[in-house]
Amino acid sequence: EIVLTQSPGTLSLSPGERATLSCRASQSVSSSYLAWYQQKPGQAPRLLMYGAFSRASGISDRFSGSGFGTDFTLTISRLEPEDFAVYYCQQYGSSPTFGPGTKVDIK
């Protein structure tokens, strides 16, 4: 099983700032199968990025993904009030796994 680790656990930032979220895998993950999700309290997760670099339908270009192998990054260029949430990375190969999440909260 591929274990995903996310850092930091919590990121405290102000609106307008840049957020950089990290996801590290215990073994190499095909970039084709790396995704990021956003979850707000009381809501189901929402797909942000798939294939490590591709934005899902309707997702703002403030969100971008990068990385390969075992290290991946989600960047939010300028935080808007609606971006404060929990973010999960996921590898969706034959046996998908999720990371523990990074909470982005308001400083």
CB of 13 to other proteins, least distance (A): 21
Site for other proteins in 30-69 (CB under 8 A): 35, 37, 44-47, 49-51, 54, 56
Judge whether 6 and 35 are in contact, CB under 8 Å: no
Task: Give the Å distances, CA to CA, from 44 to 39, 68, 72, 90, 94.
Answer: 6, 27, 23, 15, 23
Residue 88's DSSP bridge partners are 37
DSSP code at position 32: G
Q: Which residues pair with 41 in a beta bridge?
A: none
Residue window 76-95: x/- pattern of binding to other proteins, with contact defined by CB under 8 A: ------------x-x-x-xx
- Is it true that the peptide bond before 8 is cis, omega within 30 degrees of 0? yes
* Choices 16-24, 65-73, 74-82, 96-104 (CB under 8 A): range interacting with other proteins: 96-104
If binding means CB under 8 A, how many residues of this protein chain bind other proteins? 23
Note the residues at the interface with other proteins (CB under 8 A): 1, 35, 37, 44-47, 49-51, 54, 56, 88, 90, 92, 94-101
